[in-house]
Amino acid sequence: MRAYEWIARGRPRVNGRAGRALATAVAVGLAALLMAMAFGVYVDRWIALHLFVAGMLTLAFLTVTGNPRRPTGPTIASWILIAASWAACAYFLAMHNVHAKRIPMIDELSFADMTAAIVLTALVLEATRRCIGMTLVVLVLGFLAYGIWGDALPGAFSHRPLSAQEIVDHLVYSTNGLMGPALEVAAFLVFVFVVFGALLDRWGGGDFFHDLAHGLVGRQIGGPAKVAVFSSGLYGSISGSPTADVVTTGSFTVPLMIRTGVPRTYAAAVEATASTGGAILPPVMGSAAFLMVDFTGIPYATIVTAAIVPAVLYYLVVFTAVHLKAHRLGLAPTLVEGAPTLVQVLRRDWFYFVPIAVLVWGVLKLDRPVFAGAIACLALVPIGLMRNRSPRAFVASIVAGLNNGMGQLVGVGIACAVAGLVVGTLSMADLTGKISSGMFTLAGGSYALTLLVATVVIILLGMGMPTPAVYALSAVLAAPALLALKIELLPAHLFIVYFASMSAITPPVAVAAFAAASIARANPIAVAFVACRVGIVAFVLPLVFVSQPGLLLMGDATTVVTTIGFVLMGAMCLVIAFEGWLFGLVATPLRAALVVLAIVLLAQTGAARWGAAAAFLALVAWRYRRRRPASPRSAPA
């Protein structure tokens, strides 16, 4: 066996009867506890978080193998790790009253306290290796090493000596480390929306979104690809998980795109790009947005409202890219036999809008997003009863939905736990300010260079790490440097959310692109690069709205409207230049000119913007008058 295979991420495990029973019991029991808390039942935070960690570790060791070469059946090692997880968490629960009375960082920890904390930390790191990969584990170990030996470093990056007691106390027994805000968000906020998405999908929501999208755009040129954009966006806005979105909607859309003439790589890229956008599309967005609430204190409704316009622009650009590509390929409208019309879909499945409307209303009107998610889950119950006529089938579907939901939550929960370790180390060693100051110094105080450095840092962190972990680390590393540029708090953190979310399609490690590539049987790296091209606007919009917050609906009406108009035209210039089609093939010199127009329209260039806007509109009108039908033979695949 090669060395890297010993440390690579594991693969799904196939459990026997005992394993499946334990996984179901843990998933249903933990879901019941967290859902009761969402509805307002009081449970001590410390107790709930340790039960959550025990549940996540159990599911991680039950459902993921040690590495790709390990057998997929149950192993003795996995059961030992599960027993150790419950033993460590049971110790914390048993000692809760004692620990609640001690003064952190002052009262000494016992040998048993130290042992339980170290064992729990090691178990979290092992679960991280299995579920996420070695990249994040190495990063955590690097920061922990800095906390232990950083006092020996020369210069500004040295810190005061830290004892083992101080490190363990800060990372495990305080609210600034493992049991900190990131884990709290995963347990008490992300959970309810993941369960909502899982139950909605279990009771036909995924099929509804697909049929609705097909009724809207399925009969147009490039219809299957447009269906992928619509259905993936609709489903992703509820699930918030790019990979789950790809697997759910891509299994239908990708093969259909390929059968109708779309190249395999492009078909997979469209699905990956559309699914990734769900993490930035209200009303739910992704787990990073929930972390943003905790890190910034900004109400979730405010974040959702600000994110609406950039998200719509993102999907409008992706849809336009698909439309232009379909014309360039010379594709004909596709008629899928037996596919329902829009009227038929709305007449048959209108009731799916009810829980979604409840969710949107709750998120925007209530100041408790977790309660909004809980009542939205409650609004799903009538649909579940309609889809499952017998009580037994209804209960079985709930159990299956909770199993799926908690399975999706494992990666997020483990990532948030290990991110807490990193954030705790940064605060303990006062490394946050040093890195932010170093970034600002590296950029020479330049606004543009600081943005560029911050972007590079976030993208590098996103290689191989899930979105919540990327956001948690970037929020403490990059956000202070952005705020030092006098960027407002909301745009600065939304900037991080966008680039953290785009890690799902950013090569070389792009989980959404890899999932779509496996469906299309295409090269995953090629899919990732094409996905970045299709979704290019997502890498541009954050650079725009940090300097032009009108795009986030911040400012007076005139500023908001003009900013949106200019950015929309700039985005259209980009997509036309990249796809090379505007009522006919676009020559290379004109594509270069369109890129220049896009830069002028997207930047704050004053009067030049109006000239660029006029030039773009004149170009569109001129090309429309000279349009010619596409030739299927002349279109490159």
Give the per-residue pLDDT at 425: 84
Provide mean pLDDT across the span 603-621.
85
Q: Could you give the CA distance from residue 218 to residue 230 in angstroms, rounded to a whole number?
A: 10
Confidence of residue 455 (pLDDT cuts 50, 70, 90): confident
pLDDT tens string 242-251: 777 787 778 7
**Of the given ranges (256-265, 441-450, 609-618), which has the lowest mean pLDDT?**
441-450
CB 499 within 8 A of CB 455: yes
Cβ-proximal residues to 287 (8 Å cutoff; 6+ apart), any chain: 185, 186, 190, 240, 412, 416, 467, 468
pLDDT at 637 exceeding the cut of 70: no
SS3 at position 585: strand
Spell out where 188-323 has E strands: none
**Of the given ranges (129-133, 332-336, 406-410), which has the lowest mean pLDDT?**
332-336
CB 310 within 8 A of CB 541: yes
How distant, in Å, are the alpha carbons of 139, 141, 151, 351, 504 from that of 146? 11, 9, 8, 55, 29
Q: What is the 3-state secondary structure (H, E, C) of 148-192?
A: HHHHHCCHHHCCCCCCHHHHHHHHHHCCCCCCCHHHHHHHHHHHH
pLDDT tens string 547-580: 888 899 988 888 899 999 999 999 999 999 988 8
Provide mean pLDDT across the span 443-460.
82
Amino acid, res. 167: I
pLDDT at 628 exceeding the cut of 70: no
- The pTM of the full predicted model, rounded to 2 decimals, is 0.83
Provide mean pLDDT across the span 6-27.
81
User: What count of residues does the chain have?
Assistant: 637
DSSP string, 366-417: -S-HHHHHHHHHHHHHHHHHHH--SHHHHHHHHHHHHHHHHHHHHHHHHHHH
Q: Could you give the CA distance from residue 99 to residue 176 in angstroms, rounded to a whole number?
A: 16
State yes or no: cis peptide before 632, omega within 30 of 0. no
Q: What is the 3-state secondary structure (H, E, C) of 110-155?
A: CHHHHHHHHHHHHHHHHHHHHHCCHHHHHHHHHHHHHHHHHHHCCH
Report which listed range, 108-122, 217-231, 517-531, 600-614, is most confident. Answer: 108-122
Provide mean pLDDT across the span 377-401.
89
pLDDT tens string 397-432: 999 889 888 888 888 888 888 888 888 888 887 777
| Structural domain spans, the chain | 3-182, 555-629
Give the per-residue pLDDT at 1: 44
Task: Give 3-state DSSP helix, strand, coil % of the chain, rounded to 5.
Answer: 75, 0, 25
Give the per-residue pLDDT at 514: 82
Give the per-residue pLDDT at 8: 63
Give the per-residue pLDDT at 635: 38
Torsion of CA 152, 129, 524, 573, to 10 degrees: -60
pLDDT at 597 exceeding the cut of 60: yes
Provide mean pLDDT across the span 45-50.
91
Provide mean pLDDT across the span 20-36.
92
Q: Could you give the CA distance from residue 142 to residue 136 in angstroms, rounded to a whole number?
A: 10
Q: Could you give the CA distance from residue 269 to residue 369 in angstroms, rounded to a whole number?
A: 32
Percent of the chain past pLDDT 70, that is, above it, reads: 95
SS3 at position 348: helix
pLDDT tens string 267-289: 889 888 988 888 888 887 777 88
What's the mean pLDDT when you consider all of the chain? 84
Tokens of residue 391, six digits: 């009580």
pLDDT tens string 516-526: 888 888 888 88
